[in-house]
Amino acid sequence: MDYETAHLRFPPDVDRATAAVQLAIAAEYSGWELARVLMFRDGTRKVELRRRRTIPGLPALTY
């Protein structure tokens, strides 16, 4: 299958609950699923989301 990806970076001052809510919204309304999370020593999180390529018309991820 062919996937498109989106990369997000959450700064250290964003707590886990806030990040989870933002990712849940992206999953619910834009069809993204969690592919990978990297957490760095300073508390920064780098998140990779993916979804199957579909017909044009689904909204892009805007943060």
Q: What is the predicted pLDDT for the residue at 9? A: 95
What are the tokens at 18? Answer: 């806030």
Element (H, E) at 19: helix 16-30
**Averaged pLDDT, 11-21:** 93
Q: What is the predicted pLDDT for the residue at 20? A: 92
Q: What is the predicted pLDDT for the residue at 27? A: 86
Q: What is the predicted pLDDT for the residue at 60? A: 65
Q: What is the predicted pLDDT for the residue at 47? A: 95
Domain ranges of the chain: 3-52
Residue type, 18: T
Residue 57 has pLDDT above 70, yes or no: no
Q: What is the predicted pLDDT for the residue at 30? A: 86
